[in-house]
C-alpha cells in the first residue's frame, strides 16, 4: 500500500492508529485520581509530541542516514517559526500560508548553511552548524530585535496588517485557524470519570506528522536513501566509484532543514508566539538527544525519543511536594515524610536530574535507544516467532 512493502505499511498504519487514538492512550487515568498527574492527553502536550516528532524525524534523515551530526538544527526551526509568525502578522491567521512559507524559508536557509558546512565532515561539520545556529540566536536576541522581537518575541496583535483577513470584530483576539477551524478549539468527551479532549490543532498537526513520517519511510527505502547510507558507511569508497557525495548529503541536509522549518511553522500555528531561545544551542542539542535516546537511524526511534523528553519536561516538572504528600498520605506519618524526601529531589524543580539519569541509564543499558528496549520486550513476549518480525520498524542496526 502507498508504495510501501508489507512491514512498512504495517508500521505506518500502527503509527496512524496510535496518533489517532492518542487522546485516549495518553489519558489512561480518571480525573481526580492521584495518577491523573501522569495524564498527557491535553492539547498542548499532544501537539508538542507530534511537532517535535516531525523535528526529530527530519533530523534523523540527516543524522541517521548520512551520519552527519548537525548541532544547529534549532536554527532552522527558529527561522521557520519567525517566517510563520510574520505571515500571520502580515497576511492571514490561516495556518496554510504560514506553514508553507516556513518550510520554504527554512529550506533556503538550510541550503546556505549546508552548502558551507558540508565542506567539512565529522566534528568540524558539527561545529560549523553550531556556529551558524549560535550566530542566529545571538543576533535574533539582540540587534535583530526590530524583526524578531528580541527578548519578548513576537505574537500576533490586534492591530497587525493581515491583508487577507477581514477586520476583527471588536474585542476579538486573532486566533490561528484553518479556513475558520480554530486550532485551539476542542471537543471534550466525558465517560464516567474520564475526560478525553479532541483538539483540532492536534489533529491538523498529526496529519502533517503522518505525511512527514510516510515521506521519511519513502526516503529511507529509496535509492537516494541507499546512497545516503553509503555516505555514512564509507564515503571514500563512494568517491572511488566516481560518485560525488556532496549533492546527496546537501539534499539530505536541506530536506531535514525543511522538516525543522515545518515543525517551527506548526509550533507557531498551534501556539502563536516565537522567542529567540528556540534557536539556542540547547534546543539543537535536544533534538540530537531525542534521536539518540529513541534510536538513531530507526524510523520510529526519534519520535519515541521526542515523546519521552517532552513528557518528562511537561509532566515531571509539575509534580510538587504537595502532590507527593497526597500520594503517600496512606503511609504512617514518619514513613510518608521519609518517602517524600526520598523522591522529592527527582521531581518538580529536580526534573533535570531525572532526565540526566535516564540519558545515562538508556545509553548504558540500551545502546540502541528506546527502540532496542521495545525490541527486547517484544522478544521476551514473542519468543516463539523468529525475531526478524519486530513491530517497531527497526530497519538497520543503528551504527
Partner 1 sequence: MEAIILQILNGLDKGSAYALIALGLTLIFGTLGVVNFAHGALFMIGAFCAVTLSRIISTSHTIIDETQTDFLGNPLKVEVPYVMDWFGEATGAAIIDWAVPLSILFAIPVMIAIGVIMERGLIKHFYKRPHADQILVTFGLAIVLQEIIKYYYGANPIPTPAPSAFVGSFDFGTMLGFEANQIIYPYWRIIYFAFAAIIIGAVFAFLQFTTFGMVVRAGMADRETVQLLGINIDRRFTLMFGIAAAVAGLAGVMYTPINSPNYHMGMDFLVLSFVVVVVGGMGSLPGAVAAGFLLGILESFASMREVLNVLPGLNQIIIYLVAIIILLTRPRGLMGRKGVMEE
Partner 2 sequence: MSKMNLTRRGVLKTGAIAGAGVAAPTIFTAQSAAAFTNEPTGSSVTLGFNVPQTGPYADEGADELRAYELAVEHLNGGGDGGLMNTFSSKALQGNGILGKKVEYVTGDTQTKSDAARASARSMIEKDGAVMITGGSSSGVAVAVQALCQEAGVIFMAGLTHSNDTTGKDKKANGFRHFFNSYMSGAALAPILANNYGTDRKAYHLTADYNWGYTTEEAVRTSTEAMGWETVAAVKTPLTQTDFSSYIAPVLQSGADVLVLNHYGGNMVNSLTNAVQFGLRDKLVNDKNFEIVVPLYSRLMAKGAGANVKGIFGSTNWHWSLQDEGSKAFVKSFGTKYGFPPSQAAHTCYVQALLYADAVERAGSFNPCAVGEALKDFEFDGMGNGPTLYRGEDHQCFKDVLVVKGKENPTSEFDLLEIVEVTPVSQVTYDASIFGGELGSCNPGA
118 — phi, psi (to 5°)?
-75, 0
| Residue 24, binding choice from partner 2, partner 1, none, Cβ under 5 to 8 Å by partner class | none
**Could you tell me the sign of the dihedral formed by the alpha carbons of 228, 234, 238, 241, in that order?**
negative
Tell me how far CA of residue 173 lies from CA of 24, 94, 155, 282, 331, in angstroms: 31, 14, 11, 33, 49
- Beta carbon nearer to partner 1, 142 or 222: 142
| Residue 184, binding choice from partner 2, partner 1, none, Cβ under 5 to 8 Å by partner class | partner 2
Tell me which residue of 308, 274, 254, 204 sits closest to 103, measured CA to CA.
254
**Sites for partner 2 among residues 31-60 (CB under 8 A):** 31-33, 39, 42-45, 48
| 105 belongs to the binding site for partner 1 (CB under 8 A) | no
Interface segment toward partner 2; rule CB under 8 A; list 121-129, 221-229, 312-320, 389-397: 312-320
- Reading the block at residue 115, the C-alpha cell is 552548502
| Residue 390, binding choice from partner 2, partner 1, none, Cβ under 5 to 8 Å by partner class | none
| 391 belongs to the binding site for partner 1 (CB under 8 A) | no
Interface segment toward partner 1; rule CB under 8 A; list 89-97, 241-249, 361-369, 381-389: 361-369
- Reading the block at residue 126, the C-alpha cell is 558539527
| Residue 317, binding choice from partner 2, partner 1, none, Cβ under 5 to 8 Å by partner class | partner 2
Tell me how far CA of residue 47 lies from CA of 200, 269, 271, in angstroms: 10, 10, 9
Minimum CB–partner distance for residue 146 and partner 1 (Å)? 12
| 341 belongs to the binding site for partner 2 (CB under 8 A) | no
Tell me how far CA of residue 273 lies from CA of 85, 109, 128, 159, in angstroms: 7, 21, 28, 16
Contact 294, 305 (CB under 8 A): yes
| Residue 366, binding choice from partner 2, partner 1, none, Cβ under 5 to 8 Å by partner class | none
Residue with C-alpha cell 524543580? Answer: 349
Candidate residues 184, 285, 373, 391; the one interacting with partner 1 per rule CB under 8 A: 285
| 25 belongs to the binding site for partner 1 (CB under 8 A) | no
Pure H helices in the chain: 6-20, 22-25, 43-66, 73-90, 95-117, 122-141, 145-148, 200-221, 223-233, 235-240, 246-270, 281-294, 301-315, 321-327, 333-343, 351-365, 370-381
| 94 belongs to the binding site for partner 2 (CB under 8 A) | no
What is the number of residues in the chain? 399
Q: How far apart are CA 364 and CA 291, in angstroms?
A: 16
| Residue 187, binding choice from partner 2, partner 1, none, Cβ under 5 to 8 Å by partner class | partner 2
Contact 212, 205 (CB under 8 A): no
| 367 belongs to the binding site for partner 1 (CB under 8 A) | yes
Candidate residues 13, 123, 158, 164; the one interacting with partner 1 per rule CB under 8 A: 123
Instruction: List CB contacts of 182: < 8 A, sequence separation 6 or more.
Output: 175, 176, 200
**Sites for partner 2 among residues 163-222 (CB under 8 A):** 170-171, 173, 175, 184-193, 195, 197
Interface segment toward partner 2; rule CB under 8 A; list 94-102, 216-224, 291-299, 349-357: 349-357
> In the complex, which residues of this chain contact partner 1 (CB under 8 A)?
63, 67, 69, 116, 119-124, 127-128, 130-132, 134-135, 138-139, 141-143, 281-282, 285, 288-289, 292-293, 296, 345, 350, 352-353, 355-360, 362-364, 367, 398-399
- Residues interacting with partner 2, by CB under 8 A? 30-33, 39, 42-45, 48, 138, 141-143, 145, 150-153, 155, 157-159, 170-171, 173, 175, 184-193, 195, 197, 271-273, 275, 277-278, 313-314, 317-318, 320, 348-349, 351-352
Amino acid at each position: 500500500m502507498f508504495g510501501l512493502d508489507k512491514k512498512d505499511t504495517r508500521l505506518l498504519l500502527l503509527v496512524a492508529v496510535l496518533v489517532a487514538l492518542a487522546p485516549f492512550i495518553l489519558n489512561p487515568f480518571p480525573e481526580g485520581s492521584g495518577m491523573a498527574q501522569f495524564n498527557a492527553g491535553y492539547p498542548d502536550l499532544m501537539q508538542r509530541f507530534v511537532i517535535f516528532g516531525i523535528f526529530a524525524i527530519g533530523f534523523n534523515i540527516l543524522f541517521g542516514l548520512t551520519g552527519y551530526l548537525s548541532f544547529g538544527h534549532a536554527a532552522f526551526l527558529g527561522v521557520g517559526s519567525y517566517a510563520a509568525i510574520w505571515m500571520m502578522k502580515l497576511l492571514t491567521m490561516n495556518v496554510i500560508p504560514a506553514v508553507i512559507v516556513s518550510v520554504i524559508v527554512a529550506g533556503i536557509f538550510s541550503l546556505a548553511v549546508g552548502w558551507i558546512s558540508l565542506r567539512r565532515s565529522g566534528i568540524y561539520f558539527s561545529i560549523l552548524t553550531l556556529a551558524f545556529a549560535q550566530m542566529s540566536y545571538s543576533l535574533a536576541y539582540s540587534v535583530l530585535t526590530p524583526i524578531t522581537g528580541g527578548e519578548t518575541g513576537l505574537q500576533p496583535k490586534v492591530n497587525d496588517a493581515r491583508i487577507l483577513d477581514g477586520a476583527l470584530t471588536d474585542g476579538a483576539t486573532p486566533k490561528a485557524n484553518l479556513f475558520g477551524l480554530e486550532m485551539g478549539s476542542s471537543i471534550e468527551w466525558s465517560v464516567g470519570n474520564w475526560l478525553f479532549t479532541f483538539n483540532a490543532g492536534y489533529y491538523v498537526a498529526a496529519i502533517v506528522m503522518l505525511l512527514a513520517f510516510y515521506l521519511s519511510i519513502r526516503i529511507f527505502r529509496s535509492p537516494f536513501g541507499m546512497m545516503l547510507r553509503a555516505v555514512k558507511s564509507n564515503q571514500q569508497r563512494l568517491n572511488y566509484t566516481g560518485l560525488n557525495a556532496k549533492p546527496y548529503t546537501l539534499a539530505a541536509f536541506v530536506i531535514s532543514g525543511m522538516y525543522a522549518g515545518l515543525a517551527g511553522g506548526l509550533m507557531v500555528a498551534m501556539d502563536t508566539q516565537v522567542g529567540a531561545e528556540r534557536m539556542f544551542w540547547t534546543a539543537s542539542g535536544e533534538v540530537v538527544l531525542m534521536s539518540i535516546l529513541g534510536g538513531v537511524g530507526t524510523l520510529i526511534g526519534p519520535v519515541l525519543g521526542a515523546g519521552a523528553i517532552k513528557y518528562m519536561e511537561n509532566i515531571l516538572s509539575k509534580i510538587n511536594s504537595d502532590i507527593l504528600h497526597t500520594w503517600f498520605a496512606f503511609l504512617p506519618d514518619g514513613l510518608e515524610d521519609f518517602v517524600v524526601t526520598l523522591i522529592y529531589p527527582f521531581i518538580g524543580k529536580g526534573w533535570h536530574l531525572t532526565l540526566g539519569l535516564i540519558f545515562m541509564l538508556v545509553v548504558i543499558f540500551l545502546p540502541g535507544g528506546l527502540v532496542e528496549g521495545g525490541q527486547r520486550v517484544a522478544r521476551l513476549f514473542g519468543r516463539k516467532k523468529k525475531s526478524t518480525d519486530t513491530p517497531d520498524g527497526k530497519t538497520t542496526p543503528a551504527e
